[in-house]
């Protein structure tokens, strides 16, 4: 086997040996896989379970997973054939049956059930609308970057072109995701009365600890750990929804059950 390459290096080698007609589609999917695994991760560190999980994620989040996964399967087969990996990881990349059936029924124009409503707060909907405007405003700049980078005909060493195409792929994917969510969005107000519900800001005190834990309870589509926004279907969210100021709640954690007292509640959801 050759000296171990990173997945980013292997993806570049794979794309360089493809015909131009095949490179664009393969580029987007090979680099999407590389981003998910980690560009700097060594090929010999990738486990079959990593590949299987990627296949599951694509099956659950795209309309035509077989088409999306095919370039990745070719990339992994190339890595094995070229001696970059000791095993053929491509065999672990499978389309889940449910996703395959969904694609089949769509192609046969079988009627599908209506889109399930997505509950969120008014603040969450406004944030998505703002994000969509920002993403759409970025489109012209990304297209211009691709056009400028494409003027360099040496695609194998054209890092700016690759980066611009990766950004465009992410941008268009996120725009579709946000548009789909907004079409199904239903603004739901918080729980009536003084009980905790979606949109409420809560301050908790952990037993035996002086520090406060401040968070906002939101619908699953709005959850953001970095902003202390927790989903109402998370363990913490389930423990809080329907409770009142002064109540004590218990939340299961890896180290055992943790008890919190609800020290303050701001019913921002109105």
99, 59 Cβ separation under 8 angstroms = yes
Structural tokens at position 41 = 């991760």
Which H or E run includes 260? Answer: strand 256-266
69, 105 Cβ separation under 8 angstroms = no
Strand ordering across the sheet containing 212-218: 229-231, 212-218, 201-206, 256-266, 248-253
Q: Where exactly are the structural domains of the chain?
A: 1-112, 114-188, 201-266
Which H or E run includes 206? Answer: strand 201-206
Q: If we measure between CA atoms, which residue out of 93, 110, 94 comes closest to residue 102?
A: 110
- What does CATH list as the number for 114-188? 1.10.287.180
Q: If we measure between CA atoms, which residue out of 140, 21, 139, 37 comes closest to residue 79?
A: 37
Dihedral through CA 94, CA 96, CA 97, CA 98, nearest 10? -160
- Classify residue 265 as exposed, middle or buried by CB count within 10 Å of its CB (0-12, 13-18, 19+): buried
Q: Which segments of the chain does DSSP mark as H helices, in order?
A: 7-16, 20-37, 48-61, 65-81, 97-107, 122-150, 159-184, 235-240
pLDDT in tens, the chain (270 residues): 555 688 888 888 888 898 888 887 788 888 888 888 887 888 888 888 888 888 887 877 667 788 889 999 999 999 888 888 888 888 888 876 544 444 444 555 544 555 677 777 888 888 889 999 999 999 999 888 888 877 766 555 567 777 888 888 888 988 998 898 888 888 876 555 788 988 889 999 988 888 889 999 988 778 888 888 988 888 999 999 999 999 999 988 777 888 999 999 998 654
Classify 166 as helix, strand or coil: helix
Tokens 């055992």 belong to residue: 256
What are the Cα distances from residue 143, in Å, to 45, 165, 172? 35, 9, 11
- What does CATH list as the number for 201-266? 3.10.50.30
CATH 2.40.430.10 fits 1-112, yes or no: no
Task: Give pLDDT, residue 124.
Answer: 84
């Amino acid at each position: 086997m050759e000296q171990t390459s990173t997945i980013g290096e292997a993806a570049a080698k794979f794309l360089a040996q493809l015909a131009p007609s095949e490179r664009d589609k393969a580029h987007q999917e090979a680099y999407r896989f590389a981003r998910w695994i980690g560009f700097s991760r060594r090929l010999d560190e990738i486990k079959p379970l990593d590949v299987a999980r990627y296949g599951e994620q694509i099956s659950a989040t795209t309309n035509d997973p077989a088409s999306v996964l095919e370039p990745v399967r070719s990339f992994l087969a190339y890595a094995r054939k070229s001696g970059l990996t000791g095993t053929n990881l491509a065999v672990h990349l499978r389309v889940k049956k449910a996703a395959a059936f969904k694609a089949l029924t769509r192609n046969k124009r079988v009627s599908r059930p209506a889109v399930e409503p997505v509950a969120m707060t008014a603040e969450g909907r406004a944030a998505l609308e703002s994000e969509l405007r920002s993403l759409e405003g970025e489109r012209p700049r990304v297209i211009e970057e691709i056009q400028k980078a494409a003027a360099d005909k040496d695609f194998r060493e054209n890092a700016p072109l690759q980066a611009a195409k990766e950004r465009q792929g992410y941008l268009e994917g996120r725009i579709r995701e946000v548009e789909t969510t907004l079409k199904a969005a239903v603004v739901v107000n918080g729980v009536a009365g003084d009980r905790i519900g979606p949109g409420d800001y809560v301050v908790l005190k952990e037993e035996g600890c002086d520090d406060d834990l401040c968070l906002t309870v939101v619908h699953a589509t709005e959850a953001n750990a970095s902003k202390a926004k927790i989903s109402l279907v998370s363990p913490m969210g389930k423990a809080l929804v329907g409770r009142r100021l002064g109540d004590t709640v218990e939340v299961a954690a890896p180290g055992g059950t943790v008890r919190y007292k609800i020290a303050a509640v701001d019913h921002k959801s109105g």
